[in-house]
Structure 1
Amino acid sequence: MAWFKRTQKGIQTATEDKKDVPKGLWYKSPTGKIVDADQLEKNFYVSPEDGYHVRIGSKEYFKILFDDNKFKELDKNIESKDPLKFTDTKKYTERLKAAQEKTGLTDAVRTAVGKSKGNELVVACMDFSFIGGSMGSVVGEKIARAANHALINNIPFMIISKSGGARMMEAALSLMQMAKTSVKLAQLADANIPYISLCTDPTTGGTTASFAMLGDINISEPGALIGFAGPRIVKDTTGQDLPKDFQTAEYLKDHGFLDFITPRSELKDRVNLYLDLILNQPVRS
């Protein structure tokens, strides 16, 4: 039938000239929910339909926690060396350089001091985008120095963990950071200076086995993966079948490993409510 036939060619666009939707304009959560990127940012990088917490880094957390995004970064220029001359498929120094160029970071943690709802606060925040948030010598050193800054100035301390564990390229030197950071946190405890540990997705390996679980209060974001070893290793070691969700924040809270789980939108208020209570000062609205 004639009216179903194209009688005149319309505008044709060559395949190579067709444009996809610009990257970053939309975000698709693991459950398939689509959210506008601007809306996602305004909602603290949480998908409004399903509550999925998108992984973010120190830049975003500092903006959430510090008043007017004002803070002083500590020990900004410390960088990792290669004392073990590690070489696998690529030299460790090359991996470091590539990660620095890609992320704009010097290593997998940034530390800063500023005010959060008027409370002085020192924050160490890990960045998973830098070699999987792995804990090497610089991560341990910067956390130890940040804790020391909190100790000297009598300021509460907070660590935001997001890590795949120890950095294999630094071998035993990486594992030493577990003890190093734990000692500093013990000094804060002796001085009655509050330490808050926030576990985000993922918090695993040596990070979990040290500073991530040593908080005066241990908290987490919803749905975060938290654990030491992978499910297969845990099962082989214990010889038991494990619940499907046994390494989620919700399971750990139900079994006493976490004090509470807080949505990212409430993080600043909940942290400061705790500080006001423990420091015996009027609660800030």
Structure 2
Amino acid sequence: MTTETASHYDHLEQMSVHDLLTNINREDKTVPLAVEKAIPQIEALVTEIVKRMKEGGRLIYIGAGTSGRLGVVDASECPPTYGVSPDLVIGLIAGGDKAIRRAVEYAEDDPDQAWLDIAPYHPEPLDTVIGIAASGRTPYVIGGLEKARAAGLLTGCVVCNEGSAVAAAAEYPVEVVVGPEFVTGSTRMKSGTAQKLVLNMISTSAMIQLGRVKGNKMVDMQLSNLKLRDRAAKMVISETGVDYETAEQLLAQYGSVRNAVDHYLNP
């Protein structure tokens, strides 16, 4: 596995801080190019996800360690960004929510646990399960994909090695081969960055296809803090020409940029 092969750099402990940062950055620059090569695979997966989500399907991420945390992060950001239900995009990590902050030993080694973690959400054939595993060999992810596929769900994955068991278990694999890590085997680095980029691409393009963006703006975002309320008011002003106070009143009355603008322009 390329994610486990020796770093291109050695004697890291002898490098200056400047050299460490420069060399890490040099390696990081290769990640977007690796993601670019996987765009056809990402496109095929997103196209199938959107078909199902338009009919009521959900997106479920499963992973362990860094990969699981990245899935949880991406899922948790969809409701505030796009105003969707927290149950539309779900992130599950081996070991449960406590594993988000602290590693749970051996949680990733149980091939049956992912499907047990998915079960409380009452999975249906319109749902999609995406397994996230840099190595491509995590039993938690492999077992979850195999059981989801057997139950008729759409399955995809994001891995950082070619020809992995995780990719074999998924109908729509995404393989982003980033090569050796700066610190040998530390897949929270380039592999984690690649996975974050791909998950951003998947969820963002899906939400746009579902109509959750107008122009280039998050018109359904939750107005959950002062920064977001200010951003929303400026969106309303841009679309309607009203003053700031009126924009705030419209948002308070109608709850979102989309509704505020629609009600103002179409009273």
Instruction: Please give the range of the TM-score, normalised by the shorter of the 2 chains.
Output: 0.3 to 0.5
More strand by share: 1
TM-score normalised according to structure 1 size = 0.34
Normalized per residue, the structure richer in helix is 2
* Greater relative contact order (CA < 8 Å, ≥ 6 in sequence): 2
Which of structures 1 and 2 has the bigger CA Rg? Answer: 1
